């Protein structure tokens, strides 16, 4: 057993640590067959135009969120398995499955709402992302302007020039690009100037604190104005209360997403919003 523990060193002889490594290895193996076994699925969370009240909120689209239904462990949250998939490189294959599944689903809707898909950094650095998006759009028949790709600044930090070129080529396909979790990391204003985002998603952390501290309100207000000045639209994430919605609508925020509007759920729960599941099913089978 390693004696001294100091910051930044890994004591490789800790038995618990050994167990953790074994657990991760097992989880990794299980994740690698999860797609084939049909254990992955997508949940969808609605986004609404920021109108007056929840009842009056018009649904404009959905964000697709990955779910892993593990046969024994149950539902493993994406916060656990996405990082694992990223580390192991599995995210490339998984990301492709997610993108195809979300586009196929959205293409089957009778009402042409938007679908937003999260991209991982590894999808930017491995393989031909632009070619993949292009072929999935052709294959599924989804109109490019209905697809929104969500990226976090982490994607762009590593290689500015490559990131910019990729975003421009994606935009040239006609898809939309959103900056996800804005304000949560090292977001710098120069990113907003340099990269052609269509949308900024204000991180949940600021929304939670609306009404609790005046700083969050000031930041949210400033981001809305800034985004609008750059001709980007603004979505607030994690909206849970009417008071938050009121504030955001008042400040001119374009759209909201959060438990107040709807929790992420299988698309069947939103059948009425996308045009009915019977119709969707017919279209899917025909295609």
**Number of Cβ atoms within 10 Å of the Cβ of 142:** 22
Q: Are strands 74-76 and 114-118 parallel, antiparallel or unpaired?
A: unpaired
Region near ligand C2E per CB under 6 A, out of 15-23, 233-241, 244-252, 279-287 = 233-241
Query: Is-contact 252 224, C-beta < 8 A?
Result: yes
Of residues 115-174, those binding ligand C2E (CB under 6 A): 118-120, 150
Residue 248 tokens read as 């955001």
User: Considering CB distances under 5 to 8 angstroms, the limit depending on partner class, which of ligand C2E, Mg ion, none binds residue 98?
Assistant: ligand C2E
Quote the distance between the C-alpha of residue 153 and its chain's center: 13
DSSP code for 58 = P
**Which position's Cβ is nearest ligand C2E?**
258
Quote the distance between the C-alpha of residue 162 and its chain's center: 21
Q: Which helix (H) or strand (E) holds 279?
A: helix 277-286
DSSP code for 153 = H
Query: Is-contact 175 147, C-beta < 8 A?
Result: yes
Residue-level length of the chain: 287
**For ligand C2E, the closer CB: 34 or 239:** 239
User: Considering CB distances under 5 to 8 angstroms, the limit depending on partner class, which of ligand C2E, Mg ion, none binds residue 101?
Assistant: none
Question: What radius of gyration, in Å, describes the C-alpha atoms of the chain?
Answer: 20
Binder among 27, 48, 76, 82 for ligand C2E (CB under 6 A): 82
Quote the distance between the C-alpha of residue 190 and its chain's center: 22
The single residue listed with the structure tokens 């603004």 is 234
**For ligand C2E, the closer CB: 256 or 280:** 256
**For ligand C2E, the closer CB: 101 or 251:** 101
Is residue 78 close enough to count as binding ligand C2E by CB under 6 A?
A: yes
Binder among 59, 66, 113, 151 for ligand C2E (CB under 6 A): 66
**For ligand C2E, the closer CB: 6 or 170:** 170
Residue 178 tokens read as 């959103």
Of residues 5-44, those binding ligand C2E (CB under 6 A): none
| Residues lying near Mg ion in the complex (CB under 5 A) | 118, 150, 180-181, 237
**For ligand C2E, the closer CB: 30 or 63:** 63
Region near ligand C2E per CB under 6 A, out of 11-19, 25-33, 215-223, 253-261 = 253-261
Is residue 183 close enough to count as binding ligand C2E by CB under 6 A?
A: no
**Number of Cβ atoms within 10 Å of the Cβ of 187:** 18
List residues binding ligand C2E (CB under 6 A): 45, 65-66, 77-79, 82, 98, 118-120, 150, 180-181, 204, 237-240, 257-259, 264
């Amino acid at each position: 057993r390693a004696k001294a523990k100091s910051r930044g060193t890994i004591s490789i002889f800790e038995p618990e640590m050994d167990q953790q490594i074994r657990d991760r290895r097992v989880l990794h193996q299980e994740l690698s067959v999860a797609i084939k076994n049909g254990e992955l699925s997508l949940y969808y969370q609605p986004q609404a135009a920021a109108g007056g009240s929840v009842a009056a909120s018009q649904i404009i689209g959905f964000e697709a969120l990955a779910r892993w239904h593990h046969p024994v462990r149950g539902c493993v949250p994406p916060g656990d398995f996405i990082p694992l998939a990223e580390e192991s490189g599995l995210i490339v294959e998984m990301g492709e499955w997610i993108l195809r599944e979300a586009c196929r689903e959205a293409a089957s809707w009778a009402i042409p709402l938007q679908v937003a898909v999260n991209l991982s950094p590894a999808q930017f650095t491995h393989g031909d992302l632009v070619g993949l998006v292009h072929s999935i759009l052709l294959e599924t028949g989804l109109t490019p302007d209905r697809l929104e790709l969500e990226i976090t600044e982490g994607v762009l930090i590593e290689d500015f020039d490559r990131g910019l070129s990729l975003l421009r080529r994606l935009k040239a396909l006609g898809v939309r690009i959103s900056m996800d979790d804005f304000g949560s990391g090292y977001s710098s204003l120069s990113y907003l100037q340099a990269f052609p985002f269509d949308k900024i998603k204000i991180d949940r952390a600021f929304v939670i604190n609306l009404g609790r501290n005046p700083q969050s309100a000031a930041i949210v207000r400033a981001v809305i104005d800034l985004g609008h000045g750059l001709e980007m639209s603004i979505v607030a994430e994690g909206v849970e209360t009417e008071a938050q919605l009121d504030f955001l609508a008042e400040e001119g925020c374009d759209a909201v997403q959060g438990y107040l509007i709807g929790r992420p759920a299988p698309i069947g729960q939103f059948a009425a919003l996308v045009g009915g599941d019977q119709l969707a099913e017919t279209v899917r089978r025909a295609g």
